[in-house]
Amino acid sequence: MRLVTSLVCLILSASGMLIPPRSADAQTLTKTLVTDQLPGAVFVTSPKRDYRRLFVLQLDGRIRIVKNGTLLATPFLNIGSTGLNKLSWGGERGLLGMAFHPLYSQNGFFYICYTNLQGNPIVERYRVDASNPDLANAASGTTVIGPISHPQSNHNGGCLQFGPDGKLYLGMGDGGGSNDSGPGHAVGGNGQSGATLLGKLIRLDVDLPFPHIPSDNPYVGNPNFLDEIWAHGLRNPWRFSFDRFTGDLWIGDVGESAREEVNFAPAGTAALNYGWRCMEGINCTGLSGCTCNAPNLTLPVYDHGHVSGCNSLTGGYVYRGPLIPGLEGTYIFGDYCRRRVWSFKLVGGQVTNFLDRTAEIVNTGGTVSSISSFGEDALGELYLCDSSGGRVYRITD
């Protein structure tokens, strides 16, 4: 452990990230500013084993690189109006997700999700430039899935993650509007309908030819469900993640008018129904066509009720980095507009060690106007994006 920590310290010191001394059991957290020059920052990530660069998504279509602690002037890729002019943005629309292929160091492939000029989510694959690793080949874009017809401007989801199985997962919101209903919504809601990709977690094998459908997806051959579907019953899964040690899946799902929720699935568990629009958190909605608390529904491992004003849960990550040992195995998540951060551990399916981290993370170390996303770097250290303030912070002890 001492050798690993020493190597990590050398790597981070070389990249301009100062590491304060701390005891092995320190758990009090704060944050360190990475950059305050990225308005609309909505996600941060890194390729595997790339310890010197952070890739930050801006809602307006730019992917920016922070390299060795310095924000590079030229975007890695720009699909917005000042670049490829491919997307519509504003509100909940824009550049929403990014994931690097597990073999990115070999094939140079990465994937983005954004809302196109018609407001419909689409996933495209791009390749890094052959001569400059800090630039993408803007002409290399090819469609992976979509555009997915989307009746409203909100609840686009858009989070992309590669799972431990090497497959690409995409979270789609229910299509927007109130109570998963209205024009463009299936009877009984998109979340419960197998005939639409809205309100779903989608699983693709991008190493297969188009349409990239794995043969072991749970509904392949089922006439009542589209083959791409891995799980359903979601409202707006604004950020999901895989535990990099266990492969377990964590989904932060934004609520309607009463409750916010965190959903969970053990590694490899498919075909779960998280309940929306019949359930909002642990509450029965009483909406038409619903059987509440049905045995086929998977309730959240955590939910909480709304307070007055805006409530919008931002899903997070299980901490597996080397720099804060006291945080090992802890799930950290927050709320976009309430600007709150919480953490807990899941032990035997039960929430333990629940802590409100707002005073530590939000109220110290700099201003936070919104919590648009969390993210991981190549080491597993955690970051917080503040889209309204244009800031990215690293969570530290």
Confidence of residue 82 (pLDDT cuts 50, 70, 90): very high
Residue 293 has a pLDDT of 86
pLDDT tens, 103-122?
999 999 999 999 999 999 99
Q: Region 385-395: what's the mean pLDDT?
A: 98
Question: Rg of the chain's alpha carbons, rounded to an integer?
Answer: 20
pLDDT(202) > 80: yes
Confidence of residue 289 (pLDDT cuts 50, 70, 90): confident
Q: Region 380-387: what's the mean pLDDT?
A: 98
Nearest to 339 by CA among 360, 318, 353: 360
Q: Region 216-226: what's the mean pLDDT?
A: 98
**Angle at alpha carbon of residue 240, lines to 235 and 244, rounded to 5°:** 160
Confidence of residue 27 (pLDDT cuts 50, 70, 90): confident
Confidence of residue 123 (pLDDT cuts 50, 70, 90): very high
pTM of the model: 0.93
3-state secondary structure of 158: coil
Q: Region 257-276: what's the mean pLDDT?
A: 98
Q: Region 273-282: what's the mean pLDDT?
A: 97
> What does the DSSP 8-state code read for residue 57?
E
Residue 303 has a pLDDT of 98
Confidence of residue 12 (pLDDT cuts 50, 70, 90): very low
pLDDT(37) > 70: yes
Residue 3 has a pLDDT of 46
Give Cα separations from 44 to 79, 105, 329 (angstroms): 17, 18, 20
Confidence of residue 292 (pLDDT cuts 50, 70, 90): confident
Average pLDDT over the chain, rounded to an integer: 93
Q: Edge-to-edge strand order for the sheet containing 136-145? A: 95-100, 109-115, 121-128, 136-145
Nearest to 103 by CA among 43, 44, 162, 169: 162
**Nearest 10 degrees: Cα torsion 217, 221, 224, 228:** 30
Residues 330 and 343: beta-carbon distance below 8 Å: yes
> What does the DSSP 8-state code read for residue 94?
S
pLDDT tens, 327-351?
999 999 999 999 999 999 999 999 9
Residue 396 has a pLDDT of 96
pLDDT(19) > 50: no
Residues 71 and 15: beta-carbon distance below 8 Å: no
Q: Which CATH superfamily is domain 22-396 in?
A: TolB, C-terminal domain (2.120.10.30)
Nearest to 251 by CA among 199, 180, 326, 286: 199
Q: Region 347-369: what's the mean pLDDT?
A: 96
CA distance 252 to 315: 4
Largest interatomic CA distance in the chain = 59
Q: Region 214-234: what's the mean pLDDT?
A: 98
- Give the bridge partners for 251, in sequence order: 240, 263
